[in-house]
Structure 1
Amino acid sequence: MKFTASSRSAQGSSASRRLRLAGRVPAIVYGGKSAPANIELDHNEIYHALNKEEFHASILDMVLDGKSEQVLVRDVQWHPYRQLVLHVDFQRVDANQALNTRVPVHYLNAEQSPAVKLAGQVITHGPSELDISCLPANLPQFIEVDLSNMVGGARLHLSDITLPIGVKYMPHGADVNPIMAQAAEVKVVEEDTPAAETPAAPAAPEAPAAE
């Protein structure tokens, strides 16, 4: 995937505000053997690109001032309530150096599994993204998890999945083998039946007033 960028010299909040008013997005590219560079992007181009899943998990060709280099999206700042991109961070990619990044997880074929078709259970999914490490050439756009063989009550761990060649899972904390999917009975929530109201006892007649 390719996008264009231009160098920018003006920095600071005022300069960034002027850029955004002109339909541009301030950004930065860092890493590799070159110094970090402040750049700017066309808002419409980068907005539509960022709304594609593969743009976040692919090696990108950035054409900066007519020269192409490979980068990876590292961070995106969005406006809190408007559909506006405020800032983007890119990292240069070295073909010979492993990179750490996140890739989306696609869960497939749950409806074809024995857990669903035969046991009438539901399959809940685990993480929507995985932290991985790999060389740029081995970076997958996503990782597929096939659920078609899950039976009733089964759990599918990361160790049960074959990751793409050259891809290593990078755990955070002690969970080195997270649960990716789990089949379980559908929980039926029963509504409480209101208790029948006990009829109120008739009021005792009042004693006649003394004459």
Structure 2
Amino acid sequence: MKVVAFERSVQGTGASRRLRNSGKTPGIVYGSKDAAAVIELDHNALFHALRKEAFHSSILDLEIGGKTQKVLLRDYQMHPFKPLVLHIDFQRVSATEKVHMRVPLHFTNAETSAAVKLQGAVISHILNDLEISCLPADLPGFLEVDLSKIEVGHSIHAKDVVLPKGVSLVLHVEQENPVIANARIPAVKAAETEEVAPSAAPAADAAAAAAPAAKDKEKS
């Protein structure tokens, strides 16, 4: 994805306020051996870009003054209640240095799992992204989580996700191996099942009681 920005000549709270009032968003680019650069971007274009998943998890082509550099979105601040982007941060990346990035999880095949189809389970998504490490060229737009074989009462963990070549979980995720999804029978459905099972017992008792009475009647 390409992002067009312009060098910002003035800084400070007042300058940033005037910038926002003119439909621009202040930002900064840092990283690598180059000095940090303050920039400004068209607010509306940036606001719509932030609504795209790929903008948050892809290597971006940031153009400043006709020159393009590879960057990652690292942070942005929104107004507490207005649809207004207050500030944005980009980090330069090197083709030879690994990056740490949170990438979204795409859950697939839940509807074909036996837990859902045959047992009426509900699958809960505990996490929606995972932090990975890789070279910029290997950065995936998302990670796919196959739920087709999930079982009731079981969970899928971070280390169960199939990672693309060159991609690994960051160290703390690897060690913690958090749950990212699980399958459970809804409490209402479980209660209904428990109520149906005991109801068979009185019927069986009634049948057992009726049998001796029938034999006594035959004898008389």
- TM-score tier, shorter chain, comes to 0.7 to 0.9
Would the aligned equivalents of 1:115 and 1:153 in 2 still touch at CA under 8 Å?
no
CA deviation after TM superposition for structure 1 residue 174, in Å: 8.6
Q: Is the 8 A contact 1:131 1:171 kept in 2?
A: no
1:35-74 correspondence runs (5 A): 35-74=35-74
Deviation at 1:151, TM superposition (A): 2.5
- 1:78-113 residue CA offsets vs partner (Å, 9 max, x unmatched): 011010100000000100000111111111111110
Is 1:27 the counterpart of 2:23? The answer is no
Q: What SS does the corresponding residue of 2:47 show, helix, strand or coil? A: helix
Cα distance in 2, alignment partners of residues 181 and 173 from structure 1: 15
Aligned residue for 2:55, secondary structure, equals: helix
Deviates more, 1:112-121 or 1:171-180: 171-180
- Residue 117 of structure 1 corresponds to 117
Residue of structure 2 equivalent to 1:78? 78
Matched-pair contact (CA < 8 Å) for 2:144–2:162: no
- 1:188 partner SS: helix
Provide the residue aligned with 2:108 in structure 1. Answer: 108
Aligned to 1:188: 188
The residue number in structure 2 matching 1:150 is 150
Correspondence 1:159 to 2:159: yes
Secondary structure in structure 2 of the residue aligned to 1:137: helix
* Aligned residue in 2 for 1:178: 178
Contact 2:103 2:141 in 1 (8 A): yes
Matched letter for residue 88 of structure 1: I
Deviations 1:13-34 (A, max 9, x none): 0000010011010000000110
Offset from partner CA, 1:114-148 (integer Å, 9 cap, x none): 00001111111121111111100010111110101
Specify the alignment match of 2:211 in structure 1. Answer: none
Q: If the length of structure 2 is used for normalisation, what is the TM-score?
A: 0.82
The CA distance in 1 between the partners of 2:159 and 2:72, in whole Å, is 27
Shift of 1:173: 7.5
Q: Kindly, what percent of the aligned residue pairs are identical?
A: 54
Counterpart CA distance in 1 for 2:107 and 2:55 is 19
CA distance in 1, matches of 2:28, 2:150: 45
Structure 1 ranges of 4+ moved more than 3 A: 171-175
- Between the aligned partners of 2:187 and 2:103, the Cα distance in structure 1 is 32
Cα separation, partners in 2 of 1:72 and 1:173, compared to 1, 3 Å: closer
Question: For 1:133, what is the secondary structure of its paired residue?
Answer: strand
CA–CA distance in structure 1, aligned partners of residues 70 and 175 of structure 2: 32
Q: CA deviation at 1:166?
A: 1.1
Bigger proportion of residues as helix: 2
Total equivalences in the alignment: 190
Return the letter of the residue paired with 2:19. L
CA distance in 2, matches of 1:178, 1:64: 40
Q: TM-score, normalised by structure 1?
A: 0.86
Q: Is the 8 A contact 2:128 2:180 kept in 1?
A: no
Amino acid in the other structure paired with 1:71: V
Q: Secondary structure at the match of 1:17?
A: helix
1:141 matched to 2:141: yes
Q: Aligned to 2:102, what secondary structure does the other structure show?
A: strand
Letter in 2 for 1:57: S
- How much has 1:46 moved relative to structure 2? 0.7
Q: Which moved more, 1:56-65 or 1:158-167?
A: 158-167
